Amino acid sequence: MKIDKRDKQILGIALPSIVSNITVPLLGLVDVAIMGHVGDAVYIGAIAVGAMIFNLVYWIFGFLRMGTSGMTSQALGRRDLPGVTLLLARSLLVAVGVAALLLVLQRPLLWLMLALIKPTADVAPLAARYFGICVWGAPAMLCLYGLMGWYIGMQNTRVPMLISIMQNVVNIVASLLLVVVGGLKIEGVAAGTVIAQYAGLGVALLLLVVRYGRLRKYFSPQGLLDRRAMARFFTVNRDIFLRTLCLVAVNLYFTSAGARQGAVILAVNTLLLQLYLLFSYVMDGFAYAGEALCGRYYGARNGTAFTATLRRLFVWGGAMVIVFTAVYAVGGTPFLRLLTTDETVIAASADYFAWAVAIPLAGVAAFVWDGVFIGITATRAMLVSLAVAAAAFFGVYFAFHGSIGNHALWLAMIVYLVMRGLAQTAAYAFFRRRLGSGF
């Protein structure tokens, strides 16, 4: 495939984003690995439960990144530099407000999460101890979401990549010092995570001053709480928030429905989902490119560049489908052996492996459209499309689970991914008329 200027723009944003995405799970894996070598199984379980709680909470508030990214890229396309600075300030203001709410409500939040996850009696107190420390990292993490979205909107994904890598290094060093040298256990791991989060925030703010300090002259605090601007900011983020709740509902139900079928099926589904996650980490990089570039060209009303970028995004998506489908079909089972030595689970996965191989083709359109829709802030269309897909997921599962068991769960997941792409394609065809003939 010939690489042209448009492809270089896409890859310049996508590749650093892919590296950032792949490093994100390492923060949790580092904690598990350290406890796995110095503690017993109950500590590993507590870390897993604590990490699950924060992954869920931060995922729900991911609108701080996505909403900021789309609106910033549009403002940049319009050369609205005062608007660019105000968007960052509003995002950080909302992040601090949400973080303060989490800190105030941390006890009922912990109770709710433990009630949903239902850890064993020996794990729950340690998970609560881990939560009680890590929750103080919420201001750093949520502000980082706003900053990361702003950087992506500014067409800069190298800074988020550097921050992600640096966070992991700090997390490893701090956790090892606190646990191995300081003699702490789960408290040391939790404190190391919080230290890494604030270190990431510090670097993000430092790079903001160094690389974008010149934009300070465009900032006017009088416009920060402008009623119309704040209304649009919250409308966009409200739609993304509700969409995320639908996503969470599907993913949580997928896990819980698998768990009800026994430990082996739960393990099989968990392992095969790693293939989905790996594909999603890569495709999210191209989605970020869609957010930044399509948002910028939409803001500039440059329909020619917008359409050309959209086409190349789907070309790259098609290329990723071919690569991942081939790799999964040929090397999927050896990959599963890297994750587990349990031959019972590996053997059981053979019955469902074809579903995992189908994931790239089923999901590619949804990932590409997500980035484009965030870039043009068509968040209501995203919400409606996801709601339709979620309804299809539950409809297919309840229609077939009695006859084909766990296959119904995977069929529902594939239908869900396909429906996301089809619904967004239809929504874009409708939305395109609003954009004008140039798009």
Number of Cβ within a 10 Å radius of residue 58: 18
Residue 259 has pLDDT above 80, yes or no: no
What confidence tens digit (pLDDT) does each residue in 266-300 have?
A: 778 877 887 888 899 899 999 999 999 999 999 99
- Rounded distance, CA 196 to CA 207, Å? 16
Please compute the mean of the pLDDT values over residues 400-416 and round it to a whole number: 93
Q: How confident is the model at residue 1 (pLDDT cuts 50, 70, 90)?
A: low
Question: For residue 50, what pLDDT is reported?
Answer: 82
- State mean pLDDT over 370-395: 94
CA gap 157, 60 in Å, rounded: 22
Q: Are 191 and 184 in contact (CB under 8 A)?
A: yes
Q: How confident is the prediction for the chain on average, in pLDDT?
A: 88
* Across 6-30, average pLDDT: 82
Q: What is the mean pLDDT of residues 97-120?
A: 89
pLDDT at 433 over 80: no
What tokens does 175 get?
């956790």
DSSP codes, 214-261: GGGGG--GGGTT-HHHHHHHHHHHHHHHHHHHHHHHHHHHHHHHHHTT
DSSP letter at 340? -
| Across 362-384, average pLDDT | 94
pLDDT of 32 above 80 = no
Helical packing angle, 63-77 and 81-104, nearest 10°: 170
* Cα gap 216→349, rounded to integer Å: 55
**Per-residue confidence at 172, pLDDT binned at 50, 70, 90?**
confident
Average pLDDT in the 222-232 region?
82
Burial of 119 (0-12, 13-18, 19+ CB in 10 A): buried
Q: Could you tell me the CA-to-CA distances from 373 to 66, 136, 326, 343, 368 in Å, in that order?
A: 10, 33, 29, 43, 9
Arithmetic mean of pLDDT, 157-167? 91
Q: What percent of the chain has a predicted confidence (pLDDT) above 90?
A: 54
Task: Compute the distance between CA of residue 29 and CA of residue 350 in angstroms, rounded to an integer.
Answer: 27
pLDDT digits (tens, 9 = 90+) for 193-225: 999 999 999 999 999 999 999 999 888 888 787
User: In the predicted model, what is the mean pLDDT of residues 339-344?
Assistant: 70
- Both tokens of 272, joined, read 């095969």
Query: Residue 7 has what pLDDT?
Result: 87
Q: What is the pLDDT of residue 69?
A: 93
**By the 8 A CB rule, do 196 and 168 touch?**
yes
pLDDT grade for 79, boundaries at 50, 70 and 90: very high
**pTM of the entire predicted model:** 0.88
